Amino acid sequence: MRVQEEGDTTRASLGFEVMSVVMIVLGIAEAATSFRHRFSIIATTASVTEAVAGVSVGACYIAAGSLIFKGRQRAARMALILLILDVLVRIGMVMGYLFPVSTSTQVIRTAGGMVIALTFTLILAVKLPSLPE
């Protein structure tokens, strides 16, 4: 991904912009699912702990997406920390049985969410040096 200079402002490339928007949308969906404990055919454990953890994951996604949109190394480093925290909370939710994994749908949902979070984390870590300070 390249960074485009426009006068005094620096904008992240289209790839970073798309990734940012997707992360923000997924963060909103994660938070909404945590409050409702249901998203389409997927359900989560209906507990306060799950709601807090799920909203935390959603907030990490939203904040990381917003930071990446800035297209600066410092903001991207903070976003990387948030994405790592997102992954750790997801692991904790699985280990704490807050994401039920008793059906194949739940396993696919949980694994899919983890793969998406890890993919964003890896992309950002690899592309971080290409961003301006």
Over residues 43-84, the pLDDT tens digits come to 555 667 777 888 888 899 899 999 988 888 899 899 999 999
Q: What is the residue type of 109? A: R
Domain that holds residue 68: 10-130
Count of structural domains, the chain: 1
List Cβ neighbours of 17 (8 Å cut-off, separation of 6 or more). 11, 69
- Torsional sign, CA 123, 34, 67, 11: positive
pLDDT tops 80 at residue 106? no
Q: 71 in a domain, yes or no?
A: yes
Q: How confident is the model at residue 38 (pLDDT cuts 50, 70, 90)?
A: low
Q: 97 in a domain, yes or no?
A: yes
Q: How confident is the model at residue 37 (pLDDT cuts 50, 70, 90)?
A: low
Q: 67 in a domain, yes or no?
A: yes
More confident residue, 88 or 12: 88
pLDDT digits (tens, 9 = 90+) for 7-27: 434 455 778 888 899 999 988
Task: Work out the end-to-end distance of the chain between its first and last CA atoms, rounded to an integer number of angstroms.
Answer: 15
Q: 4 in a domain, yes or no?
A: no
More confident residue, 96 or 41: 96
Cα separation, 39 vs 118, whole angstroms: 21
- 129 DSSP 8-state letter: G
Q: 22 in a domain, yes or no?
A: yes
What is the pTM assigned to this prediction?
0.75
Average pLDDT over residues 93-113: 78
